[in-house]
Amino acid sequence: MDAELNGMPAGLSAVEVRERLDRDGWNELPSSKKRSWVAMLIDVVREPMFLMLIACGLIYLLLGSMEDALMLLGFVVVMIFIAVVQENRTERALETLRDLTSPRALVIREGRQQRIAGREVVRDDIILLAEGDRVPADAVLLFSSGLSTDESLLTGESFAVSKRSRPDDAGPVPSGDEAERSSVYSGTLVVKGRGMARVLETGLRTRIGMISAALHGLEPEEGLLQKQMRRIVQTISIYSVVLCVIVAVAYSLTRHDWLNGLLAGLTLAMATLPEEFPMVLLIFLAIGAWRISRHNVLTRRLTAIETLGAATVLCVDKTGTLTENRMSVRKIHAGGGFYDLDGHEAGLPEAVHETVEYSILASPPDPFDPMEKAMRELGERALANTEHLYRDWELLKEYQLSEHLLAMSHVWRSKTGNQMVIAAKGAPEAIFDLYHFSPEQLASLQAAVEQLASDGMRVIGVAKAPFGKSPLPEEQHDYDFTFVGLLGLEDPVRNGVPEALKECRDAGMRMIMITGDYPATARRIGEQIGLPETEQLISGTELEGMDERQLDERIASTSIFARVQPGQKLRIVQALKKRNEVVAMTGDGVNDAPALKAAHIGIAMGARGTDVAREAASLVLVDDHFDSIVQAVRMGRRIYDNL
C-alpha cells in the first residue's frame, strides 16, 4: 500500500539507505570469533593438572611401565574431552544473542511499505510495528495505538510496558521514565497494539548491542578450588623435580652410575607426584553435579559446584525468584474504605464486588496482560455465586489506551438487549479525568492512591457509565462516568522464601536483592522476606552518580538495589568482587548475561530465562525457586568440605 496515501512519511530513498549502510554498517551484532576445537584443546591442556598427568604418563613410558602409562593417559583423554565439551557450550552465548537481533522488519522506503531483513534496517528508517513483531532496532515512536512491549529480556521485569508516541522533531531520546515510554528497543516484543517509529540506533549502538559488547569482553571467573589445585600442583611438582635432581646427583656421585641415578631420581619423583588429584577432583564434582540436579539445579560448568560452597554473597533478582512472577489483587479501595483481600474474598461488601465486576468488564474476555488475568481470577473466586459475572453479554465496542488518555473502556450489551453498560479502567489520574471530581474528592482519592503505591502496589482505577441505544460516541470523554474504586496489585512473595533467606543468614551468606522495580515495591518485598536494613537502598539513578570509592563504602551495608538499569548489575558484581567476596548472581534476561558471566557463580532461570542468560551462566535453576539455590549452596559446601 502506498504510504503517502495513508498520511505516513515517505521514508528513506535507496541512495540514503546505501549511505547509512556505508557509514554505520549492518544492523547486527558482530560475529564472535569462535574458537576451534584445537584452540580449546590447547587451552585445556595448558592447565598444570593436565600437564602433570601427561608428564607422568610420558615418564611411565620412559621407564617401560606401558600398562601404567596407558591407563593414566586414558584417564587424561577422557578428562580433556569432558573439559573441551564444557568449553564449547560456553561459546554459544554470543551466537544466541545475535539470533534475537535478526527479525524481519516492515519499513517505509520511497513511499512504499517493504518487508526486509532486520540486518538491513538503517538509522532514520521508518518502521511499522504490530502485535507479535520483534523490534529490529532502537527507535522513537511517531505514532502508537495501544502499543505495549515486553522488555523482560532487557529489564528482567515480565510485565508489558505501555508506550506512547512523541513528535519526530524531538531529537535524540533523553534519559528518564518519560523518554522510556516513547522508545522501543531492539530485540523486544510487541505484545499489544500497533505503532510507527523512527530508528535512532542500530547494531552495536543499540541497548542489546551494548550488552553484547560487555559480554564479549568478559572472561569466566576461575574457581577457588582450581586456584588452590594449581598452587598445590605447582608446589609439589617443584619439590619433586628438586628431589629428583638431589637423588640423581647423590646416586651418581656415590655409585658412579649416572643412568641408574637418573632413573632412581625419576622413580622417587613419580612416587611423590599427586597424579590422582585431578581424577579425584573430576569424580567428586561429577557426583556433586548429579546430586544437586535432584534439587532442580543443572550444572553447566563443574567448577561452579565447589565455588558455590564458598559463596559469601548471593545477588538475587526479585521477579520470579523471590516472587511468583504473577500479579494478584491485594487491596481494594471502594466506598471510602480499604479492603485487604489476602485470600479472604468471602464476605466482602457490595462496593468491592462492583469494583471487581467492572474491572473484569473493562478487560478482554480472554486476557493476556498479567494484571487483567489477576482481575479475572479474583472475579472467579469472589463473584462465582453472585449476579456480578456476565458471561453471556455481548462486547459492542472497545476504546483503547492512547497517549492522551491512559484508560480503556468496553461497551457491553446485556443478553436481553435492554441496556448497555460501559466499563473503564486505567491509570488513576486518567479515571479521575473521566469523572471530573471536585478538588476535595480528588485530594481524598489521591491520598488513597499514594497509600497503595507506598505499599509497592500497582494502582488501577475503575469507573462505569450507563448508555442508551443511540449511536456510540467516538471518545471516552463523551460518556457520563461514575467512579467505582481502586485496585492495588502486587507480585506475591513465593512460599518458603523468608525461611530460605534466614537459612542463608545463619550460614553466614549475605543476600542482596537487585530489581528493575520501583524503590517502594522493592522495599516492601524486602520487608516481607525479612531482608535486613531495607532502608539502606540504592536506586539506579544514585548508582549512576557514584564513583568507585562511594560505591565501595555503601555496598557493604546495602541489601537492595532498585530501578537498576542494564549494565549496572555488572558494576555491582565487580564492586563486590573487589571486596574479596565470592559472588553468586541470579538472572534471566539478556541484560543479566554480562553479570552472570562476571560473577564467580552465574545462576540462570530455566523456566523463564532467555537462552543468552542460560548460555552465560554456570548453573541453571529448573524451577526458578530461591529455595533451590539455598539447597544447592548447602550441597556445594558439603562437597567443598569433602574435597
Active site residues: 317
Provide Rg for the chain, Cα atoms: 31
Whose CA is closest to 606, among 181, 272, 296?
A: 296
Place of cell 541512495: 15
Q: For residue 601, what are the β-bridge partners?
A: 584
Whose CA is closest to 463, among 426, 489, 415?
A: 426
Place of cell 553447566: 300
Q: Dig out the grid coordinates for 329 from the structure.
A: 489483587
> What is the amino acid identity at position 641?
D
Question: How many Cβ atoms from other residues are within 10 Å of residue 176's Cβ?
Answer: 9
360, 389 in Cβ contact below 8 A?
yes
Whose CA is closest to 305, among 560, 584, 109, 26?
A: 584
Buried b (16+ CB within 10 A) or exposed e, 486-507: bbbbbbbbbeebbebbeebeee
Q: Which helix (H) or strand (E) holds 125?
A: none
Burial of 612 by CB count in 10 Å (0-12 exposed, 13-18 middle, 19+ buried)? Answer: buried
Whose CA is closest to 406, among 178, 151, 139?
A: 178
Q: Which helix (H) or strand (E) holds 282?
A: helix 276-293
State how far the Cα of 257 lies from the Cα of 97, in Å rounded to an integer: 65
User: For the chain, first and last CA: distance in Å?
Assistant: 70
State how far the Cα of 467 lies from the Cα of 448, in Å rounded to an integer: 29
- Running DSSP on this structure, what letter comes out for residue 547? -
Q: Could you give the count of Cα atoms lying within 13 Å of 244 in the half-sphere of its Cβ? A: 17
Give ∠ CA 521-369-423 in degrees, rounded to 5.
Answer: 100
172, 103 in Cβ contact below 8 A?
no
Question: How many Cβ atoms from other residues are within 10 Å of residue 572's Cβ?
Answer: 25
Q: Where are the alpha helices (DSSP H) in 117-171?
A: 152-155
